[in-house]
Amino acid sequence: MLTIKTPLSQAQRLKQFLIKNDFFNRDYQPKKENDFIYFPLNKKPTKLKFKNTTIHHRVLPKIEKPLTLQKLLKNKLTKKQLDLVPSAQEQIGSIMILEMPKELIKKEKLIAQALLQVNRNITTVVKKSHPHKNVFRLRKVKIIAGKRTKETIHKENNIRLKINLEKTYFSARLANERLRIKKQIKKPEEILVMFSGAGPYSMVLAKNPFVKSIHGVEINPLAHRLALENIKLNKLEHKVFVFQGDVRTVLPKIKKKFDRILMPLPKTGEQFLGVALIKAKPGAIVHLYAFLDEDKIAQETKKIKDICKQYKRQIRILRKVQCGQFAPNVARYCFDIKVIK
Ligand SMILES: C[S@@+](CC[C@H](N)C(=O)[O-])C[C@H]1O[C@@H](n2cnc3c(N)ncnc32)[C@H](O)[C@@H]1O
């Protein structure tokens, strides 16, 4: 290839001249040799006013450009298929979860292998075989490429979580919501996380230095076991305490009231609002999650107020925050409720 050799003392000036006049070839790396450097060229430069520069034919190392999914799949999929490849996928630890449009099902293995090549921090690609269901909110996944595992360590908000995709509910997409709540804690608090799963809310909130203690309650024994491991993993044994069982039977045994109560069970959470209210100190904040159509928000607000009245608690709904999409017209909302007395 065509190169230009120049003393190091004028290398910067020459490089700027070559770039400005489109002589510099960006596909190759310059090479130093003793007090000289070789720059790669697109074409022979004209009007050169630099001393001691000479043109040479020699080989320079090529610059590796990062692989892209589009580049890898260009000759394997049609243009129409390429446009359908989803750009954002959920990643939990080193596992990527594919949601493949039905038009691409026959190409899913090919796409999964390309994803592994492009993302060096992914070791396994799975696809959902059915959405979260039943009381434990579990889903089945099918491994389509890479290491045959459904377990991984996920990092978020300065914590690490051991997650098994089929044994516990977990959503990486709720990281910002967990952070939103963590940031609200500005004085010493005792916190209850109902439906605590493998412990993401408990671990993230516990890293706030104002938090005195966190009690978590989870009915799924396998999720509970992961939560116990995650407490150790994050060295939070001194302030996170988890209990396995139904909140309705476990909570009466915990002789405590709380400054903040989280209710991350959006499908049926409001059925447990009464149980939560019994455990709320005056002044406490309750975070109640619900999947709602936008036109059902007013109805849900009324339902919440009615339940609070029934439990003789005076409340104020501080805000309703949309924190994720569940289905095309259904979003996940968090009602931040202040229990006044
Ligand atoms: C949507 S998941 C949330 C899990 C966890 N908080 C998270 O964000 O990853 C709801 C959890 O509530 C648990 N659950 C459902 N009903 C329960 C009950 N009556 N008592 C305790 N936990 C329950 C499920 O097993 C599930 O793990």
Segment 294-312 shows an average pLDDT of 95
Task: Give the span between the Cα atoms of 160 and 162, in whole angstroms.
Answer: 7
Segment 7-13 shows an average pLDDT of 96
Closest CA to 31 of 76, 61, 66: 61
The Cα angle at residue 171 between residues 165 and 173, in degrees rounded to 5: 140
Q: Which residues contact 309 (CB under 8 A, 6 or more apart)?
A: none
Pocket test residue of 167, 177, 205, 219 for ligand 1, highest count of atoms within 8 A of CB? 219
pLDDT of 188:
98
Q: Which residue has the higher pLDDT, 86 or 164?
A: 164
pLDDT of 129:
80
200: confidence class by pLDDT, cuts 50, 70, 90:
very high
pLDDT of 240:
98
Our answer on whether the CB atom of 92 is closer than 6 Å to any ligand 1 atom is no
Task: Give the span between the Cα atoms of 277 and 311, in whole angstroms.
Answer: 7
pLDDT of 21:
94
Compute the distance from residue 176 Cα to the ligand 1 centre, in Å. Answer: 19
Q: Which residue has the higher pLDDT, 185 or 75?
A: 185
Please say whether the beta carbons of 45 and 4 come within 8 A.
yes
Secondary structure class of 163 (helix, strand, coil) = strand
Residue 130 has pLDDT above 80, yes or no: no
pLDDT of 48:
87
Q: Which atom of ligand 1 is nearest to the CA of 193?
A: 6
Task: Give the span between the Cα atoms of 293 and 232, in whole angstroms.
Answer: 39
Our answer on whether the CB atom of 19 is closer than 6 Å to any ligand 1 atom is no
Residue 301 has pLDDT above 80, yes or no: yes
Burial 263-291 (b: 16+ CB within 10 A, else e): bbbbeebbebbebbbebbeeebbbbbbbb
Our answer on whether the CB atom of 269 is closer than 6 Å to any ligand 1 atom is no
195: confidence class by pLDDT, cuts 50, 70, 90:
very high
Tokens of 178: 């967990």
13: confidence class by pLDDT, cuts 50, 70, 90:
very high
Residue 87 has pLDDT above 80, yes or no: no
Could you give the count of Cα atoms lying within 13 Å of 49 in the half-sphere of its Cβ?
Answer: 2
pLDDT of 71:
86
Structural domains of the chain, ranges and CATH numbers in brackets: 2-57 (3.30.70.2580), 69-149 (3.30.300.110), 173-339 (3.40.50.150)
Segment 139-167 shows an average pLDDT of 96
**Range name among 37-46, 69-78, 231-240 with the lowest pLDDT average:** 69-78
Please say whether the beta carbons of 64 and 24 come within 8 A.
no
Segment 241-246 shows an average pLDDT of 98
Burial 78-116 (b: 16+ CB within 10 A, else e): eeebeeebeeebebbbbbbbbebeeebeebbebbbbbbb
Q: Which residue has the higher pLDDT, 191 or 99?
A: 191
